[in-house]
């Protein structure tokens, strides 16, 4: 499993409740751009449309040798999940304040591009301060251990 891109700000902005791994419906030149690591998922989000899950604002740069067959960089892409997982997400999305956030993009052992998504709830300002405090304490402990 080769991790291509991670959404580092998502962990700071949201508290993850449940995580899923979804396949993506891609066009021909998109997988080549993903393998070249020309991807950004920082602004991406997921949305349910007609009982289907779509990722929006996922930037996959154009493939250099693509020519006229190239894809649109920020097009909407369908995510592929089991019916059971999709129903679980649909049921939980009825709760107020929950969102689906992409956390990382990777290539599986079989060579398919996969997207890890998380059902998340937004953090309040005091929760963010606690996250920063925990990071600082962990950093200090690691420094003390190295000495």
Q: Alpha-carbon distance 59 to 25, whole Å?
A: 14
Span 2-122: which CATH code? 2.40.280.10
| pLDDT tens sequence across 84-123 | 999 988 888 887 888 899 999 999 998 899 999 999 888 7
**Other CB atoms within 10 Å distance of the CB of residue 66:** 15
Backbone torsions φ then ψ of 63, nearest 5 degrees: -80, 130
Q: Would you list the domain boundaries of the chain?
A: 2-122
Q: Alpha-carbon distance 76 to 92, whole Å?
A: 23
Buried-state track 99-137, b at ≥16 Cβ within 10 A, e below 16? bbbbbbbbbeeeeebbbbbbbbeebeeeeeeeeeeeeee
Whole-prediction pTM value? 0.77
| pLDDT tens sequence across 18-66 | 899 999 998 888 888 888 888 889 888 898 888 899 999 988 888 877 7
């Amino acid at each position: 499993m080769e991790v291509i891109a991670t959404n580092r700000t998502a962990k700071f902005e949201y508290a993850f409740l449940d995580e899923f791994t979804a396949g993506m419906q891609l066009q021909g030149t998109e997988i080549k751009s993903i393998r070249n690591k020309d991807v950004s998922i920082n602004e991406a989000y997921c949305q349910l449309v007609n009982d289907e899950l779509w990722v929006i604002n996922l930037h996959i740069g154009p493939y250099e040798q693509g020519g006229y067959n190239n894809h649109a960089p920020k097009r909407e892409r369908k995510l592929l999940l089991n019916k059971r997982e999709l129903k679980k997400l649909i049921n939980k999305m009825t709760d107020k304040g929950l969102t689906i956030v992409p956390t990382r993009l990777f290539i599986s052992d079989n060579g398919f591009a996969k997207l890890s998504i998380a059902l998340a709830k937004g953090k309040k300002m005091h929760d963010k301060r606690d996250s920063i405090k925990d990071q600082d304490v962990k950093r200090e402990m690691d420094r003390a251990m190295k000495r």
